Structure 1
């Protein structure tokens, strides 16, 4: 089983939301978890780009990674 690290602030917001029942943190928690999920997806694409068995799969993963990073097509090699 893999572990996932989250920022300390997000952890505290999760505690307040679940243990103290403060709904004020719901939007911040949603945003923080979405950012973490995006970072995990980008990491997986980068790993696939570096370890894919064929050149075609590497190039496809590289392009998808650059798209998710927001690198404009004119700036790519």
Structure 2
């Protein structure tokens, strides 16, 4: 299992939420965790687009990566 790094600010918010039961930062925690998850998915897709075992899998990952990045079809190679 891989390690995941988060910002110190998010870590402190998580500590406050869980240890001090401070629910005032719940929305911010959710927003930051969703952003982190999106970045992890993008990183995984980029890696697959370069290292997948078959050309078909690489092309599929490349297309999904570019779709998520918002690159228009007319701008792709």
TM-score, normalised by the number of residues in structure 1:
0.90
CA distance in 2, matches of 1:31, 1:72: 26
Pairwise CA RMSD of aligned residues? 1.1
CA distance in 2, matches of 1:75, 1:11: 39
For residue 63 of structure 1, report the CA deviation from its aligned partner: 0.7
Number of paired residues? Answer: 77
CA distance in 1, matches of 2:43, 2:57: 16
1:4 pairs with 2:4:
yes
CA distance in 1, matches of 2:60, 2:2: 26
TM-score, normalised by the number of residues in structure 2:
0.90
For residue 71 of structure 1, report the CA deviation from its aligned partner: 2.0
CA distance in 1, matches of 2:41, 2:67: 12
1:16 pairs with 2:4:
no
Gaps of 5+ in 2: none
SS at match of 1:14: helix
